[in-house]
A and B are shown apart, each in its own frame.
Chain A
């Protein structure tokens, strides 16, 4: 069981020396309890205490790092099965597939294609983060190494998917500095692959033909001293894969079975076997159900837009709602003469309101101001949405850019109308309806009446 801050504090040196970077021992211990800092940041804990605490505070699921430099990613480290229990910490990463069976031109094209998707969504960069390099039966080791090299040249972490020891060695010789994953161990070859991965200092991927076999292989590897693993839970069927993905994560987190306390790989490209729509369905399903790395055949925008949106939602902190950047968002071809409408920066509110505004077809400048990422009523209650915050933002950001002097405010904060008018001379303040869905008619009526 996780320890509370107080329990950790009892063992702390209680010196408030600030050497750990926290102002007090209590603050430090609270952060350790949350998993925000490592206990080793404190130089004064006794060795005894550290040993005792490390075991107790060790997460049920290891955090495994892949890739190098800027492209190093943490996988796993989760402490809960559902996002509402506590935030998921390390998001799913997506890998596009390459194969040694492809000719050079195809490989080059695939690599270029993997770079196409690259965009920002609510402050997060979305792109194909990794490459998954399949090794066709009978591939020449040099050829495999060459493909691996090309993949690694993109700077993205590479997952070497091979059971051929020579291929693995050849590829690692070329790219081990980039910290790829050697997804190679199974019940038959784990000893050999363990040696190769350990020598190269890379993460070893483990697979099995069943949950039980996978478990035994992992146990054997752990016994051999390797705890730098990821588990490829892909099985013969979708059903068996789903079972494995769930059993591995549930075993680790709910049942505290440390043998399964590793991140997982799910190869949905293999499971879907060319059925594009099915592959999309599986990518979403295994993002939800515990894939740390999801392997797709190709990451195009049709795959990316929903899956990255899903991931962003899934990994958002339930305590800290997503925020959109404050600013002026012109909709339906609005310009400086179009009416202004303001709401808060809570992403859900923004999407709801902007969706309805777009539906109305009426040109509107949507003014988003910083309200701490809270909904209208919550931010109003917390004092983050006030007549002062609105008028200050309008004066500083909007007045220099927009000539129109009509401002629509959310219906739920109609009470601000008078104060805003007082603080924003020259503006006419109009109260919107209570619900976003009523905006379409509201704006159309205003337009019909020549008011905007």
Chain B
């Protein structure tokens, strides 16, 4: 038998049963007899959702079945399987509806089952579903290997806040163990017949009608909604019969994956529906498998550590005398690292301590540590690694009794005696990193594990063989990234609160002018918060390559500045320069006599050869207005090959404050060498220890043979 045969035969069986039941009922009550579920305004909700027609009596029900039959095509294509699945669900709804004629077929007091769920409960469950307070809906159907397995599975979902619905023998298994069920505890036994599964489908359909504004009869919109917004999944326990498989096909059609432990049947019919029908022989792992299949992320509200975790502890200082142990990267091999892995390589929430724990270390001693956070996810990218890593400092410091400084392989971590006495051990570092990464980066991290090495050999090996090469590779990538190498730039409007019309266009070679937002940061911000301050800007329509002007960039700038800015160039300070907010690290301004520019950084308080200080320059340039000849920028931009490229590049720099000069010396020399073949370019540039007078500067530059003097005039 193939999957097609199984589903079609299951569907046929249900169809036959339905037809018989309807005919029997008509024979008994006549066609005008009313059919309805209690407390719903949506007639037979599933049928109404799919067709837009309300069924109110047996005659209409019979007609409806004829409509459903048209779905039951028998071509051997996946589409036919799904439509037969939907037909099976609708027929199940009809069978269940018939049960309600002149009867109360379910009674939680008697048989423990709820059956149909009223609109009022749908509305009240819908709100936490939309908000994510109920992160998912589990439909458990069939019989678990043992009653204890059933309890364990239900409990695992319940503790995660997932709404559990039960169909079939599993209800009795829970009852046997005295497990409390009911709408109040969000474990809802629907009914013991397999057709009662339609009551949860009915909830999903009404969620789409009520919360999704889906019109009855718009089946495509309905299925889109259930797929995107109703985080339900099916756990089919025990042997699969054709009816269950047919119903399962209906679930998959709505976007709900089915997890089964029936390895044999699954193998026999050679079922392959990737991500939708998953064989998991181990019921213990149903929870993890289901959550991942439905992409459900559980928020971690309580980090399992023996000390407090809050930003109030961020500034805590642990002095030598209060210190239980210190990990000191300046003396021994230490490191912190995020590594992207393949999904199959990461077991979520696995925290390993490899080597001695803190209680085995002498009090007050200096030790080595290497903590490596492994992450995997469908949307994860290696470029996010350093973005996560930079958060470690804050995460670690928020732990009460832990002090963290530095980054990469130059970290220092102190653990206080108090924290140790409270029970703080190495694995708790893992718990904190795990919880924070999962919570903050849930948009891209599906699985996260932490390895903590404390043996000297491991740490040395990890540092020199894994971490340092990784850091080098990242630095190289960053250094080699060019604007031309990427397809998109990012906008950043984080500081619009201060500078209403300012928009930063962040490119690989031109970081945000605050110095804090690189292209990678902007990209990560965008992925993590798609409606947030960093938006994608395409760069397909180049207007002027020389000054770096693009139609798409202009459009974006217009949009994000609410029309205040018309057009900007990326590489010119004379023509349509980018605007400046108030938080730029540096400001450069044209020095007309030398044909070049002077740069002042925020820390520099003296005057410049322009006759203006940093703050005077800033007051003329800031606030999101274009000021040709003047521009705010980040420190790193100074050595960029794109730095005022339109005007000839870094060769225009004639003056820098001494401190800044030293900070950018190596990179700037390198850029100048590459662009113009000039050695030691930085030595040609003036600074405040040389002069702040424009005429003296002129004389000194001629003495030094500064290239700006012979370049074309800027104005």
A interface vs B, CB < 8 Å?
4-6, 9-10, 14, 16, 22-27, 30-31, 34, 84-86, 318-319, 378, 381-383, 411, 413-422, 431, 434
Q: Are B592 and A5 in contact (CB under 8 A)?
A: no
Bound-state CA distance A168–B642 (Å) is 67
Bound-state CA distance A10–B583 (Å) is 29
Which B residues are in CB contact (< 8 Å) with A84?
Answer: 500-501
The answer to whether residues A418 and B607 also contact, given A318-B500, A411-B311 and a CB cut-off of 8 A, is no
B119 to chain A, nearest CB (A): 38
Chain A, Cβ-Cβ closest to B629: A6
Q: Are B611 and A24 in contact (CB under 8 A)?
A: yes
B125 to chain A, nearest CB (A): 32
Bound-state CA distance A4–B316 (Å) is 50
B558 to chain A, nearest CB (A): 16
Bound-state CA distance A10–B582 (Å) is 27
Bound-state CA distance A23–B608 (Å) is 10
The answer to whether residues A319 and B582 also contact, given A9-B592, A417-B315 and a CB cut-off of 8 A, is yes
Which B residues are in CB contact (< 8 Å) with A415?
Answer: 314-315, 397
Q: Is B695 an interface residue (CB 8 A)?
A: yes
Q: Are B312 and A414 in contact (CB under 8 A)?
A: yes
The answer to whether residues A23 and B590 also contact, given A318-B623, A418-B317 and a CB cut-off of 8 A, is no
Bound-state CA distance A26–B316 (Å) is 49
Main secondary structure on chain B at its contact with chain A?
Answer: loop
Which B residues are in CB contact (< 8 Å) with A417?
Answer: 314-317
Q: Are A22 and B317 in contact (CB under 8 A)?
A: no
Q: Are B312 and A411 in contact (CB under 8 A)?
A: yes
Give 5 new A-B contacts, CB below 8 A, not counting A16-B695, A26-B592, A31-B620: A34-B620, A378-B583, A417-B314, A418-B403, A431-B315
Q: Are A5 and B627 in contact (CB under 8 A)?
A: yes
The answer to whether residues A431 and B312 also contact, given A4-B629, A85-B564, A419-B317 and a CB cut-off of 8 A, is yes
Q: Is B634 an interface residue (CB 8 A)?
A: no
The answer to whether residues A23 and B611 also contact, given A5-B627, A6-B574, A30-B620 and a CB cut-off of 8 A, is yes
B317 to chain A, nearest CB (A): 3
Give me 10 A-to-B residue pairs in the complex whose CB atoms sit less than 8 angstroms apart, sorted by A's number: A5-B620, A9-B592, A23-B612, A25-B592, A27-B610, A30-B612, A86-B623, A382-B583, A413-B315, A417-B317
Q: Is B313 an interface residue (CB 8 A)?
A: yes
B529 to chain A, nearest CB (A): 19
Q: Are B611 and A419 in contact (CB under 8 A)?
A: no
Which B residues are in CB contact (< 8 Å) with A421?
Answer: 317
Chain B, Cβ-Cβ closest to A383: B603
Partner of B315, one of A86, A319, A419: A419
Which B residues are in CB contact (< 8 Å) with A6?
Answer: 574, 590, 628-629, 715
Q: Are B611 and A22 in contact (CB under 8 A)?
A: yes
B590 to chain A, nearest CB (A): 7
Q: Is B29 an interface residue (CB 8 A)?
A: no
The answer to whether residues A16 and B694 also contact, given A23-B611, A34-B620, A431-B315 and a CB cut-off of 8 A, is yes
Which A residues are in CB contact (< 8 Å) with B627?
Answer: 4-5
Per-residue contact bits, chain B 314-329, to A (CB 8 Å; 1 contact, 0 not): 1111000000000000
Which A residues are in CB contact (< 8 Å) with B255?
Answer: none
Q: Is B619 an interface residue (CB 8 A)?
A: yes
Q: Is B508 an interface residue (CB 8 A)?
A: no
Q: Are A10 and B715 in contact (CB under 8 A)?
A: yes
Q: Is B191 an interface residue (CB 8 A)?
A: no
Chain B, Cβ-Cβ closest to A36: B620
Chain B, Cβ-Cβ closest to A429: B315
Which A residues are in CB contact (< 8 Å) with B628?
Answer: 4-6
Per-residue contact bits, chain B 581-597, to A (CB 8 Å; 1 contact, 0 not): 01100000111110000
B319 to chain A, nearest CB (A): 9
B interface vs A, CB < 8 Å?
311-317, 397, 403, 498-501, 564, 574, 582-583, 589-593, 602-603, 607, 609-612, 616, 619-620, 622-623, 625, 627-630, 694-695, 715
B399 to chain A, nearest CB (A): 13
B580 to chain A, nearest CB (A): 11
Q: Are A26 and B590 in contact (CB under 8 A)?
A: yes
Which A residues are in CB contact (< 8 Å) with B589?
Answer: 26
B630 to chain A, nearest CB (A): 8
Which B residues are in CB contact (< 8 Å) with A378?
Answer: 498, 583
Chain B, Cβ-Cβ closest to A14: B592
B684 to chain A, nearest CB (A): 22
Which B residues are in CB contact (< 8 Å) with A422?
Answer: 317
Which A residues are in CB contact (< 8 Å) with B315?
Answer: 413-420, 431
Chain B, Cβ-Cβ closest to A319: B623
Bound-state CA distance A318–B610 (Å) is 26
Bound-state CA distance A9–B312 (Å) is 52
Chain A, Cβ-Cβ closest to B623: A319
Which B residues are in CB contact (< 8 Å) with A22?
Answer: 611
Bound-state CA distance A418–B627 (Å) is 42
B92 to chain A, nearest CB (A): 51
Which A residues are in CB contact (< 8 Å) with B630?
Answer: 5, 30
Closest 9 A/B residue pairs (Cβ): A418-B317, A23-B611, A417-B315, A24-B611, A27-B611, A415-B315, A431-B312, A414-B314, A6-B629
Residue from B316, B397, B625 having most chain A Cβ neighbours under 10 A? B316
Which B residues are in CB contact (< 8 Å) with A30?
Answer: 612, 620, 630
Bound-state CA distance A421–B315 (Å) is 10
Partner of B311, one of A27, A31, A414, A416: A414
Which A residues are in CB contact (< 8 Å) with B620?
Answer: 5, 30-31, 34
Chain A, Cβ-Cβ closest to B499: A319
Q: Are B311 and A434 in contact (CB under 8 A)?
A: yes
Q: Are A24 and B317 in contact (CB under 8 A)?
A: no
A181 to chain B, nearest CB (A): 33
Chain A, Cβ-Cβ closest to B602: A382
The answer to whether residues A319 and B622 also contact, given A4-B628, A415-B315, A421-B317 and a CB cut-off of 8 A, is yes
Q: Are A14 and B593 in contact (CB under 8 A)?
A: yes
Bound-state CA distance A27–B610 (Å) is 7
B257 to chain A, nearest CB (A): 40
The answer to whether residues A27 and B612 also contact, given A4-B628, A6-B628 and a CB cut-off of 8 A, is yes
Which A residues are in CB contact (< 8 Å) with B583?
Answer: 378, 381-382
A256 to chain B, nearest CB (A): 18
A299 to chain B, nearest CB (A): 33
Which B residues are in CB contact (< 8 Å) with A411?
Answer: 311-312
Chain A, Cβ-Cβ closest to B695: A16
Chain B, Cβ-Cβ closest to A387: B315
Which B residues are in CB contact (< 8 Å) with A9?
Answer: 592, 629, 715
Which A residues are in CB contact (< 8 Å) with B500?
Answer: 84, 318
Which B residues are in CB contact (< 8 Å) with A419?
Answer: 315, 317
A25 to chain B, nearest CB (A): 8
Bound-state CA distance A416–B317 (Å) is 9
B561 to chain A, nearest CB (A): 11
Chain B, Cβ-Cβ closest to A420: B315
Chain A, Cβ-Cβ closest to B612: A27
Bound-state CA distance A24–B591 (Å) is 10
Q: Are A26 and B610 in contact (CB under 8 A)?
A: yes
Partner of B611, one of A26, A383, A431: A26
B712 to chain A, nearest CB (A): 15
B167 to chain A, nearest CB (A): 46
Bound-state CA distance A85–B624 (Å) is 9
Which B residues are in CB contact (< 8 Å) with A413?
Answer: 315
Q: Are A414 and B610 in contact (CB under 8 A)?
A: no
Bound-state CA distance A9–B591 (Å) is 11
Chain A, Cβ-Cβ closest to B598: A26
Bound-state CA distance A417–B616 (Å) is 33
Which A residues are in CB contact (< 8 Å) with B695?
Answer: 16
Q: Are A24 and B622 in contact (CB under 8 A)?
A: no
Bound-state CA distance A418–B612 (Å) is 38
Q: Are B591 and A26 in contact (CB under 8 A)?
A: yes
B79 to chain A, nearest CB (A): 53
Which B residues are in CB contact (< 8 Å) with A31?
Answer: 620
B370 to chain A, nearest CB (A): 25
Which A residues are in CB contact (< 8 Å) with B591?
Answer: 26
Bound-state CA distance A316–B463 (Å) is 54
Chain B, Cβ-Cβ closest to A12: B592
Bound-state CA distance A31–B602 (Å) is 21
